[in-house]
Structure 1
């Protein structure tokens, strides 16, 4: 495996970020959200690292949950989208999975189930995001129906916030008020807070937190936030320079000649591109680090390569290390310069990029 592009994941940093989530609400438990292969970090490795400390895990679907069970993860696992068809009910029983119920059809399936042991259900209300969830006016009746099922051991009441990453957005207050109005008198633990609400909205903390992106060291906020400052980066995407050349003013770089040198420019070619998961739409000026020093992308990202400005690094040579995101180059900054979000950077990492793990705890 001579190609130098690779990702390195810091498992101790992920545990630190989970502990930071718990510290925001010391009385609450927390689901470690490891859906989408733990946001591209490797669900099995991440879950094994968190298993000694995590209260439970959350994934999107049964397939993701079964992968964790087969890897030896025994903690509770919540299916955030519930089951998609009745045949999955057998897995709830055999693999001890916890479904979310967000529509009447799922309620029908769950109430008709005949498991060998009772199971917990997370009942979701749509308080304004208008994606998944029971209508607020139907929520109490749905809760009562589940409560009448002898095989339902506990009902967790949940909703999801649409604008918690904008701390002053009025939609969050409206959603919390809706949830309280329609679930306030019902028994059961509450779960509202995603990463942004864990860090920025104590009123949403409830009984179960749901930290996701914050586990992986990226802030959910568009601007600096004091509670997010303690997060540690968990993934470094690294490569190397494979070519260095000097260009004169007026010379263009890469496909379409998007970047034209305005002065004598040293240009480094990096062995990484959009086929590795680096964003094709990264703009000129997107940050990178060469030899640990600041650099920037210049020219259009291609499938296997991108180009960086080495004018301020006269000694840079082929073989020198390049960090594309990580502790020296925040993923949020790369995402912002590429009109995307850190979630997409992490989950878009290509399978041709080898991933290694460190755990310095």
Structure 2
């Protein structure tokens, strides 16, 4: 029987979010209903509210979540009621050209639930990243559920569902940071600091955090940065070069996603170094560079989608590392809030006052 629960929606561009009653259908074939325990407030949710993804309002926001499987639909064998899961938005299909080439982390046809969650008047909701977890319960595809150790705090576990995984993966998966490498990270919010934690985990010896906010630079230091650069006071490119023997870093990660920061990343890397773009640009942004500079510096220019992660491989591994004390995921949880505090959390996040606010159910 369909269930009526609370959910946070964005009804129109720029309008404050609303806590309303929504309807969750019984799971159909391949679908699962998950009871949400915690969900992080990610900038992507704010981007949905502002119309930066598409205009398919109303949106059911929230996607960085952990919870417990409540019911499953026909044909679901990967999870069962009672399983503790992190929700992910890359449920690989196994059949697209990327999957068939052995690159499921680039799956071009990821699965979402077929049925729609609705408002009580029948209006269909568009769930953020196919998840919609600012709700007591949500409906997802079974492939969006990754089982992890149930003893882990859901406020911590859920963050792997998006931003923290994106940052760690940008360093470890996309950037292929290795032992002894030098790494610079431009932008030290949640994603950038996760990239710093990932670089430290991978064995980088020089990890340079670049930001304009002293508070964020302190967070970066706490998560593994060996050096900090205040980009409001000095030239970031020159500072990175100075800290790397005049050469530039082996890997530079742009966690901001603006033309000016990407150019800084491009020129702050060593010859044959790697640039990783994990910050998300807006559609109107462009970059112009001398083509000779692109040729002459060599190396790799990469973008990182979801940290190029494979959830069923990476989520349990990172949880294990957290439990071993080798990955301080708990440091990303700045505050725990209620479901009716999401709008306030957007303002706090936009002001750069937190790494992550996490809704606790």
TM-score by length of 2: 0.27
Relative to the length of structure 1, the TM-score reads: 0.27
**Structure having the higher Rg:** 1
